[in-house]
């Protein structure tokens, strides 16, 4: 049963998928192939970005930031198709991401 509709990064979703690991081996293999972070690191990035209190940044954006770990403002702007971040906001997010690369 779905209790909550919250966008998760692949690292965060892995915990929920592991509950029924036998049925989801393909999904777990896919996530491990592309995911560079551990759940704790993903959680830290989410918390740090939320602490910035940027109105334009939604939870969906944060999940994609964690999954893709953009290296520069151009990469970050690809995530924010519907919103335009100013240079200061983008630099703050990139600074956080670079700590985990």
pLDDT in tens, 31-86: 777 777 888 999 999 999 999 999 999 999 999 999 999 999 999 999 998 899 99
Greatest CA separation for the chain: 45
Residue 27 has pLDDT above 70, yes or no: yes
In a domain, 53, yes or no: yes
Count the neighbouring beta carbons within 10 Å of the beta carbon of residue 24: 16
Residue 101 has pLDDT above 70, yes or no: yes
What residues make up the domain containing 60? Answer: 10-98
In a domain, 1, yes or no: no
In a domain, 37, yes or no: yes
pLDDT given for residue 10 in this prediction: 87
In the chain, the number of structural domains is 1
In a domain, 3, yes or no: no
For the chain, first and last CA: distance in Å?
A: 35
Kindly tell me the burial class for residue 88, based on how many C-beta atoms sit within 10 Å of its own C-beta (0-12, 13-18, 19 or more).
Answer: exposed
- The answer to whether 67 and 31 are in contact (CB under 8 A) is no
In a domain, 21, yes or no: yes
């Amino acid at each position: 049963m779905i209790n909550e509709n919250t966008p998760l990064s692949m690292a965060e979703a892995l915990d929920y998928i592991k509950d029924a690991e036998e049925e989801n081996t393909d999904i777990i293999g896919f996530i491990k192939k592309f995911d560079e972070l551990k759940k704790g690191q993903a959680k830290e990035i989410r918390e740090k970005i939320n602490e910035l209190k940027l109105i334009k940044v939604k939870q969906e954006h944060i999940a994609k930031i964690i999954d893709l770990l953009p290296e520069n403002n151009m990469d970050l702007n690809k995530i924010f198709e519907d919103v335009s971040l100013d240079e200061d906001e983008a630099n703050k997010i990139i600074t956080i991401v670079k700590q985990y690369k």
